[in-house]
A = this chain, B = another copy of it.
């Protein structure tokens, strides 16, 4: 392979693992020989991704027994029932503890396949092979796995770190426009929480990213994974700092819950959630209105939604309360102290939250 592979490491002692970022990785037999142990490979993907990438990946897995599970596409299938169906296939095929699950797809497949790998026989090996921008920069890294419950997103899950993340940037060429934009929301999030310079770089390069410039995408993915890897390395189980990565997500979860996980893509809900969190931070006096305007402009240039559905503040708060960040009955929020500096806190004025929710949710 002539193309460069950029490698990052998620540093978690005996569970450390590499993130390999590059073009054309998905079909590389050497790469898979080096990073995927075992003789049995459980390839989990969805109908859309399988049609595009299962063949080259299976060729790269030459010589192994491959058990393939192709699920329907969509967040509405990220359920315990889907996981149960995958367990049925694994058991019917006598898949043993030394098999490796390969999660080929976006965040839904990564989360679901990761949860299956976490629970099958109390945990087997997992390799994440993200094919969406969101999965490249966020969901494939850090070991969070889960399925949804009708009453809340990601309510049933596990921490289960992969053995490797193999991020083939070529897979982004086939990504639908809307999903590319959704992935940009998580990238913008990294700038907001801890890197004002990266935020400015995104403002300068948003058009190149939308045009899928390989160089621009490679940089955005590398920097995003670097930030995430550092935070996860310091706080794997989200005892503290890692919760910063949820900026915009508590508000976003309310949007996704209210719309049944189908109308809004996760990244779209996060985009609007980022704006709501930033607006609340502004209302608390932490940010000038210019920062809020810069974020709104960037999201709009990225083609991301900035208007929440008018579900009403009460219902939004209700959904937020089911979120995992509730502690001693109080919703903890990720808010900004500055553009590029986020903080997790339960210490905010309730009327400000109320005003913010009313402004955005009606």
- Chain A residues with CB under 8 Å of chain B are 39, 80, 84, 87-88, 91-92, 94, 96-98, 118-123, 144-146, 149, 151-152, 154-159, 237, 321-322, 324-329
Contact = CB atoms under 8 A, between A and B. Distances in A.
Given A87-B149, A87-B155, A122-B158, A329 B144 contact: no
A80 B91 contact: no
B327 A119 contact: no
A92 B151 contact: yes
A298 to B, nearest CB: 31
B322 A157 contact: no
Contacts of A97: 324-327
Given A92-B151, A155-B87, A156-B87, A328 B120 contact: no
Counting from the closest, the 5 A-B pairs by CB-CB distance are A91-B151, A96-B326, A122-B157, A121-B324, A119-B156
Contacts of A157: 119, 121-122
Contacts of A325: 97
Nearest to A147: B119
Nearest to A143: B122
> Chain A interface mostly helix, strand, loop or mixed?
mixed
A122 B321 contact: no
A322 B94 contact: yes
A256 to B, nearest CB: 15
Given A39-B329, A121-B155, 10 more contacts: A39-B328, A80-B80, A80-B84, A96-B324, A96-B329, A97-B325, A97-B327, A119-B119, A122-B157, A123-B158
A120 B156 contact: yes
Nearest to A326: B96
Nearest to A327: B98
A293 to B, nearest CB: 35
Nearest to A124: B324
A151 to B, nearest CB: 4
Contacts of A152: 91
Contacts of A326: 94, 96-97
A327 to B, nearest CB: 6
26 contacts: A39-B328, A87-B149, A87-B155, A88-B149, A88-B151, A91-B149, A91-B151, A92-B151, A94-B321, A94-B322, A94-B326, A96-B324, A96-B326, A96-B329, A119-B156, A119-B158, A121-B155, A121-B157, A121-B324, A122-B145, A122-B157, A122-B158, A122-B159, A123-B158, A123-B159, A158-B158
A245 B290 CA distance: 63
A326 B146 CA distance: 27
Nearest to A97: B324
A121 B193 CA distance: 23
